[in-house]
Structure 1
């Protein structure tokens, strides 16, 4: 148990190095991008990346959760790990080909996308290449050092290229281009490491194994699709209603990007706890972490809400001062995110209730879809009302999971 806890601590540390490096590089790259591109072109890039999130999730298909858990359980069995690895990579290959055809049809048939087809092709390519990075393997083996070092190099490369070459708003396509190059280099090194150092190879699969792997991942896929109703669909609908180059879209994208970045600060806890909790069911540790994390998060959100406009102007440039009002509306999402993460798969999976983690996000997605549809139907669709619907839908996830955990608390009280 002590060795497992040391591994948990080590992987959590690497994940936090990874996350805070993202903060560091974002604090350099995003303000530079917003100042060079302005709200209009920054909104275009944000709209493209929001659209590609759907393709990324389709290619990932929930393997980051299902395959991570399978590898965690089979990590001592090299043959079993190789089979899982092979099945996931083959599945992603097929899903990428399907996605490519869909994107081609969209860019060919829809004038708005055809006009900016290079932006969407480059963004899709960057996202597709990133989807093939075998993070599920490293997470399952709990060897996060490799992911951390690789990502640091990608981020440093991206920031350097942006500073060297992004000089005018019309060069906005450099953002996905340099992302693509960085991801491609990282993928090559990752595949070589898996093959030569970890000695995990692509091997023949028995009949039906690939299908079973996809079916096992499907509940996680639908759950992850549901979570994007907030992250991607808001930006996507705003782009469709106002046009991707509208200043209001750029303001929302900037605010949403900061919220997503803040939420990413909490994901290392859940990501490292998930394989650990599947194996050890240490619910007492979850309680301690919750009590440490939540008070500073709540206080920080309150303070940021008070000075939101000044913060946005200072960080992103004077043109983004009014984006502070949007950030202020979205801050409750940040405040509830730590508990939402920890009451998800790290808690519900070892309780034998993982399906409820998926159901909670699906319920939240339905709330978001109904809310957005109502806004469009009643003619009240605007950024303020969209943010309100988003906070309600995200709160639904936490409320649902809290109720399920409370009703089934006997599952973990005996283990403490």
Structure 2
């Protein structure tokens, strides 16, 4: 198996774990803590996210690119890593001080001050995870095994320790435990690969590109999580709980869509650097088709089964979240496509400013729509704002990307995926004639819809991208003849 296929396989394993584990933990936690408890945690977590983005200063993306450039030079590799982790440490310490002052100054935050204290420790621990280092040297097997192991451990802790609403702070502290474990294991592994030294470093050369990527990251985060913060200030924790449940479920499929972005960024960086245009075009074509093939059925399937999904994974107390989940179900399509344009074209070509401009426009759309819609439609207003913002940003990134590097947008594949996915509603209608039990409705609808979708893609539309991937497996070589 080629290196690229192995990386995709391990990143897929990681992505599957990111989907399966929340399916185990979220139904339990949401029922134990209720909409108000989950709302308080998600409100705090969104604020902590801002400080995580600020302290990271764009290093998670910039670091992958810079590490990929020097991965075959041990001396340069150690120097770049030492420079970036020192910058991250300094910005994290500053972020902790600011978060402490903000937490003590706001009555809204002070009522759950313990959550923010936990968040401050997460900020410090996050410095030493340095996931970007392993992505840059393409150690996806290590990332997958380590992450899955830690997640299994935290799931055990969840069921052992969380039994009532009084365990709200302890539930959030599980994130801290996972962070500290990952940081300890990663730093030990990194010390075996490179020499970490803080002497004779050149921090200044990183600041300009980092600030551009950071500006984009913080601005993107504004429209990704600011809806939750505005919702929390304008309404209550209960509505935040509804919205967070629908947002969490709708974004599960984003994990699968993000598989190729992480794997392809180092490869595309090198391909563009060495001016291997055809190789880059081929990788981008596969990535775009992958996004279309998976995101559209995920979106339509989630819309179709929204009520059953909320009943099963969150409970009947969260039924007001059905509408916002249906709206947010389509966000996966736009986020998936925008990731291709931003992370796989503009970023490797050092066009960070273009991403920044698109994000700025997204912030304006997000803020205007959130303040207009949330007072009247609560969580549904926030959902409409998020979807509209992602659509706007995707369109802008499309125009920026195609002006710099020509890539054919798969319009025919999009139409084929939409038409085929439309059959999911018929499948669910027939299933409901047999049973109304949520877990059975979901299981039967997903199984039969998947079979129909894949069969039509293979034997009616003859989707070349899907055929190429599946034919690569020994038992499916017969598909090469289609």
TM-score by length of 1: 0.91
1:247 maps onto 2:247 in alignment: no
Contact 1:59 1:128 survives alignment (8 Å): no
1:355 maps onto 2:353 in alignment: yes
Structure 1 unaligned segments of length 5 or more: list them. Answer: none
1:141 maps onto 2:137 in alignment: yes
**Quick one: structure 1 residues 81 and 391, their matched pair in 2 at CA, closer, same or farther if it must change by over 3 Å?**
same
Correspondence for 2:229 among 205, 229, 236: 236
- CA-CA distance at 1:410 after TM superposition: 5.1
- Per-residue CA shift, 1:294-315, capped at 9, x if unaligned? 1342133223212211211112
- CA-CA distance at 1:366 after TM superposition: 2.4
Correspondence for 1:35 among 27, 31, 36: 31
Alignment of 1:270-285 (within 5 A): 270-281=261-272, 282-285=280-283
Correspondence for 1:23 among 19, 23, 36: 19
The count of aligned residue pairs is: 402
Contact 2:284 2:407 survives alignment (8 Å): no
- CA-CA distance at 1:261 after TM superposition: 2.5
Alignment of 1:302-317 (within 5 A): 302-317=300-315
User: Which residue number in structure 1 is paired with residue 460 of structure 2?
Assistant: none
Correspondence for 1:187 among 173, 183, 188: 183
Correspondence for 2:252 among 253, 261, 264: 261
1:223 maps onto 2:216 in alignment: yes
CA distance in 2, matches of 1:23, 1:66: 26
**Structure 1 residues 187-196 or 105-114, which shifts more?**
105-114
1:327 maps onto 2:295 in alignment: no
Correspondence for 2:206 among 202, 213, 216: 213
Correspondence for 1:318 among 291, 316, 319: 316
CA distance in 2, matches of 1:97, 1:354: 26
Contact 1:87 1:205 survives alignment (8 Å): no
CA distance in 2, matches of 1:352, 1:110: 39
CA distance in 2, matches of 1:106, 1:289: 41
Q: Relative contact order, CA 8 A, sep 6+: which one is greater? A: 1
- CA-CA distance at 1:70 after TM superposition: 1.1
- CA-CA distance at 1:149 after TM superposition: 1.6
- CA-CA distance at 1:120 after TM superposition: 1.3
User: Which residue number in structure 2 is paired with residue 75 of structure 1?
Assistant: 71
Q: CA RMSD of the aligned region, Å?
A: 2.1
1:367 maps onto 2:338 in alignment: no
**Structure 1 residues 62-71 or 341-350, which shifts more?**
341-350
CA distance in 2, matches of 1:119, 1:276: 39
CA distance in 1, matches of 2:305, 2:111: 39
- CA-CA distance at 1:216 after TM superposition: 2.2
- CA-CA distance at 1:381 after TM superposition: 6.4
TM-score by length of 2: 0.79
Contact 1:85 1:202 survives alignment (8 Å): no
